[in-house]
Amino acid sequence: MGQFTEKQGVGCALAGFYTALAIEKVLPIIHGGPGCVANAQQIMGNQNGSQQGVGFSEGMLPSTNLTDTDIVFGGGKKLDELIDNTVQYFDADLYIAIGGCVAAIIGDDMEEITGKYRKTGKPVLFTEAPGFKGNNIWGHTQILKSIIEQYLPDKREKVNKGQVNVWGIVPYYDPFWAGTCDAVEELLKDIGLKPNIIYGKGRGIKNIDKIPEAEFNLVLSPWWDVEIAELLTERYGTPFLHYPSLPIGPTETKRFLKVLEEYANLDSEVVSDYIRKKEDRYYFYIEKGIAHLYDARKLPKRFYTMANSTYALGIAKYFINDLGLVPEKQFITDGVPQKYQKQIAEEYKSFDGGIESDVTFTLDVGSAMIEIGNDEGKYHNATVIVGSSWNDVPAKKLGAYNLHVSAPIGDRVILDRSYFGFDGGLHLFEDLYDKVAGMFGIEMA
């Protein structure tokens, strides 16, 4: 019997164009079929936290809109004409032509076409991102590679002491990316570093230009952008620190800061003072917010996960180490490559108190939903399902709280929300216990 995947937690490779949209005044030029951008929206952008582009939006992207005729006769001329018009009428600092499935099947020489423009001083890059080669995270990686290999210099001229490039954030796919960029930037500045982030308002090309100057690169994810950090090490000799989960809440953020302190030789007094102030603030608000949440029958005790690796692991650590929840079935749905799966699985065996959990890597969210749904009636106390809008059906079946943190999220408007750090733990606590209050109401003492 044939196998199929239902309700994926990733988009196609072409959806990597959202990474370009996240960089101010960088314009993607789509070399693909009509409807490819609209399809990407189904799990990214306005269908994932109601997001729009930074400077440019999906609805106005230049596209060759390849048809059957182009498949027969080639689409190179159409792409050339489109680029020529685009650089005349769109004010951008960088243009990236992105080829989808149709362009790859035709075999158009995008390198030759875009190279002609670069020779005349026009910053036009190319990326091949056909959907049959990978998902949107792979496409995101191809966009970053094109910037590093086609735009940045071959060698770095200087090292800016204290500068740290931040990676491990996949814009738009991570619906909290904008707030997380701001939160990471603020934390690194507070402990004496010079963060360099290329995504979001006010950063853009000037921060891209500074990438080779970093003292080191920081990757905040189980596997997203590890390949980019390795490429920058190969190209510029820049070392990198890979912290394999997104720090959420006091326990993991404190651990992250201690690792960072040692790695970057930071002032221990500055780091300790930062931790002390943030911990005091965190626990003040937790005590304030939990005052009337005393009915044990209504408080969640266990949680399931159907989410991308960054949020699945980061939230699991927060739920277990800080809130005392017990992990049930854990599904990671972002297509983790085989070479990273063992390391991530080991992270699920090192929670505080000796708690361990098995984890399943799958793209088939539908099967995960069925498996979780089979636990109906297993637990008396309420449970939490951490994942996406796909989780609504099993959550209803189990009577569980449904916390949407992973693409697609069709029922939330996300502006600068972030779960990163001490304050991010407060935000996650709010979002979780909002579900409790909303389902049952809070009984006043």
- If one counts the domains in the chain, the total is 3
421-440 vs 249-264: helix crossing angle, rounded to 10 = 170
Return phi, psi of residue 291, to 5°: -50, -40
Mean pLDDT by 10 residues, the chain (445 residues): 68 95 96 86 85 81 88 89 96 96 91 94 96 95 98 96 98 97 98 98 96 98 98 98 98 98 98 98 89 65 95 98 95 96 96 94 88 74 88 83 93 94 97 80 48
Q: Is residue 228 part of a domain?
A: yes
Within 13 Å of residue 60, how many CA atoms lie on the same side as its CB? Answer: 11
175, 99: one domain: no
Same domain, 178 and 120: no
pTM: 0.94
Q: How many CB atoms lie within 10 A of CB 77?
A: 13
From 132, 151, 170, the end of a domain falls on 151
Confidence at residue 444, expressed as pLDDT on a 0 to 100 scale: 43
Residue 380 is predicted with a pLDDT of 55
pLDDT tens figures, 354-381? 999 999 999 988 888 888 878 777 765 6
DSSP string, 72-94: HH-SHHHHHHHHHHHHHH---SE
Instruction: Decide which of 278, 309, 339 is a domain's last residue.
Output: 278
**CB-based contact 21:172 (threshold 8 Å):** yes
Domain contains 284: no
**Do the domain assignments include residue 249?**
yes
**Which domain does 230 fall in, by range?**
160-278
CATH number reported for the structural domain that contains residue 121 in this entry: 3.40.50.1980
Distance CA 82, CA 205 (A): 23
